[in-house]
Chain A
Amino acid sequence: EVQLVESGGGLVQPGGSLRLSCVASGFTFSTYWMHWVRQLPGKGLVWVSRINSDGTSISYADSVKGRFTISRDNARNTLYLQMNSLRAEDTAVYYCARVIIGGSRSMDYWGQGTLVTVSS
């Protein structure tokens, strides 16, 4: 069974840092591209970042570029999101999601999400 389990969320002050983790199981993690997607409280879904299977190709939303860093450790089956210089507007539930194999580039499995709250 495919599982994605996020952790690392919590309360942080503006300007602070957090590192989110997403542990994958039930599939060959090293062959899949992965995304981070966030959802502001009561709002819609917003794409944050994407990484290819070996970590050599990465992209970010403009809103997080220069502050967030996506990475992965295929030996540990883990995806990361390092978040620095956090702002109140980064408050959201953060989901990791797997990219489906094939050409559609859709996200076929999602984790349960981890809540990040940026507040003083």
Chain B
Amino acid sequence: DIQMTQSPSSLSASVGDRVTITCRASQSISSYLNWYQQKPGKAPELLIYAASTLQSGVPSRFSGSGSGTDFTLTISSLQPEDFATYYCQQSNSPPWTFGQGTKVEI
């Protein structure tokens, strides 16, 4: 199975900060990397797919990069509604696996 490791597990930031979350795959997954946002009590929502493609309706302050084994999610200017937990997920091969999550707190 492909292991997905996110860092950090949690971070504290302020509104307006630039935030970067990294995700590392245990083997190459090309660009089959997706990012999801989850708020408490809610279902996850797709932010970015194929490593760098913004899902329709997602604000442009979110961006993704990387390929192979190393990936990054960046929020250019953190907004109050961005405080949430973020998960990466590989869709290269089953079993589809998720990172452990990064909780972004105030």
Contacts and interface: CB of A to CB of B under 8 A. Distances in A.
Secondary structure of the B contact surface, majority rule: loop
Given A100-B46, A111-B43, A44 B96 contact: no
A50 to B, nearest CB: 7
Q: How large is the interface on B (under 10, 10 to 19, 20 to 34, 35 or more residues)?
A: 20 to 34
Given A44-B98, A45-B89, A105-B32, A110 B53 contact: no
Contacts of A45: 36, 38, 44, 87, 89, 98, 101
A62 B34 contact: no
Contacts, number: 62
Interface of A: 35, 44-47, 50, 59, 61-62, 95, 100, 103-113
Interface of B: 31-32, 34, 36, 38, 42-46, 49-50, 53, 55, 87, 89, 91, 94-101
12 contacts: A35-B96, A45-B38, A47-B94, A50-B94, A100-B46, A104-B31, A104-B50, A104-B91, A105-B32, A106-B34, A106-B46, A110-B44
